[in-house]
Amino acid sequence: MKTTFQTALNGWKKSISYIFSCISILTFVFLNIAHASEPKPWQMDLQEPAGIIASKATDLHNFLLIVITLISVFVLGLLVFVCIKFREKPNVKPSKTSHNTLIEIIWTVVPVLILVVIAVPSFKLLYLTEADKPVDMVVKVSGAQWYWNYEYPDEEISFDSYIIAEEDLKDNQKRMLDVDNPLVVPEGTRIKFLVTGNDVMHSFFVPSLALQVYSIAGRINEIWTEVPVGKKKYYGQCNQICGVNHAYMPIVIQALPKNEYKEWLKEAKVKFANNPINENSKVALLEKKEVKEIK
Ligand SMILES: [Cu+2]
């Protein structure tokens, strides 16, 4: 009797600890989803989209995945069918057909139609990313070997952002992703990034915000994004092979509530007071320069 009771008790204990570990795993997963956008181990799909461009890009990706799967299945089915139907055994005398007008028209027209169907949402998205939308703030991003420099022309601050070395990582910081000075922005803002380079080519790539633009010395590339409401970290990496430390220049965009952003700005103005500001980027923003016509 005692043994049965003991066994039942042990069983209960096991189930309760199992339920508790499930809850803690789920909480951990939920917290991670809620507060950060970064690549996950064994991740198969795109990162969770944030903002209008990213969600539209994800929708387009999902739509294309259906199209490409149907095409692949159809072509595979056709190959299997042909291999079986026209195998040597029942076709001792092979057919010498070389033209079939109807089939040729079909295999030209159908792919054209598929491309047209794909082109409509693709161009819509492309025009949206290139649109000159009114923005709340501008940040100038410069890629360098091997770190990023962020400049807020309206606030007159500029600072470098370096990866945190593995030995200096704190408990809540991510290896190969966290940086000493993240690019801090207020939540729920539309931001224009002016991306340029100091040396070789880099690429400013934050997947969850659908940001990807080359950073090239002597050239300024523009891109905009909407940072959704919510305190969150968006992780990215340079994705243009730029030299020996290419893998060690991650990007962190930290979205903060407006009041916390103001606090940060106050501190940043003191902390980065001695960092040089590039006056040219200010001028480029304020003045419309006349462009000489090339004859
Ligand atoms: Cu780089």
Cα(147) to centroid(ligand 1), Å: 7
What are the residue ranges spanned by the domains of the chain?
Answer: 2-29, 52-88+97-130, 137-286
Cα(202) to centroid(ligand 1), Å: 4
Cα(177) to centroid(ligand 1), Å: 14
Average pLDDT over all residues of the chain: 85
Give the helix, strand, coil percentages of the chain, each rounded to 5.
45, 25, 35
Instruction: Tell me which of 73 and 30 has the higher pLDDT.
Output: 73
pLDDT at 29: 46
pLDDT at 274: 80
Cα(241) to centroid(ligand 1), Å: 6
Cα(259) to centroid(ligand 1), Å: 33
Q: Does domain 52-88+97-130 have CATH number 1.10.287.90?
A: yes
Cα(203) to centroid(ligand 1), Å: 6
pLDDT at 27: 47
Cα(162) to centroid(ligand 1), Å: 12
pLDDT at 5: 53
Give, in order, the Cα–Cα distances in Å from 275 to each of 131, 183, 253. Answer: 32, 15, 20
Cα(197) to centroid(ligand 1), Å: 9
pLDDT digits (tens, 9 = 90+) for 10-68: 665 565 555 555 454 454 444 444 567 788 888 888 889 999 999 999 999 999 999 99
136 token code pair: 């709340």
Q: Does domain 137-286 have CATH number 2.60.40.420?
A: yes
pLDDT digits (tens, 9 = 90+) for 222-255: 999 999 999 999 999 999 999 999 999 999 999 9
pLDDT digits (tens, 9 = 90+) for 150-201: 999 988 899 999 999 989 888 888 899 999 999 999 999 999 999 999 999 9
How many C-beta atoms surround the C-beta of residue 290 within 10 A? 6
